[in-house]
Amino acid sequence: MIPFFVQIKCQLGKSYEVAAQLADREIASEIYSTAGNFDLLVKFYVEREVDIGHFVNEKVQVIPGIQDTHTIITFKAF
């Protein structure tokens, strides 16, 4: 499994709805609310053969209330 993170900027007043939809779809490992330029930080795991770009495009960015995303691919956990 490959872990990666997505920072999500939500439309005003939609952070809790977006977080609930992510949880309901059971595609996220962890969901955090954050302060700063993005509203949520979400950790995902995908199988090695899954294209992360397609995953984010087809499973995450289609959720109503999401305005922008920033994907962070990690290399090694210490």
Q: Does domain 2-73 have CATH number 3.20.20.140?
A: no
- State the Cα–Cα distance between residues 5 and 41, nearest whole angstrom: 7
**pLDDT confidence bin for 76, thresholds 50/70/90:** confident
CA 70-11-18 angle, to 5 degrees, is 75
- State the Cα–Cα distance between residues 8 and 36, nearest whole angstrom: 11
At 32-51, the pLDDT tens digits run: 999 999 999 999 999 999 99
Tokens standing for 20?
Answer: 């609930």
Average of per-residue pLDDT values in the chain:
97
Q: How high is the pLDDT of residue 57?
A: 98
Distances (CA, A) of 6 to 40, 56, 68: 8, 8, 10
Map out the domains of the chain as residue ranges.
2-73
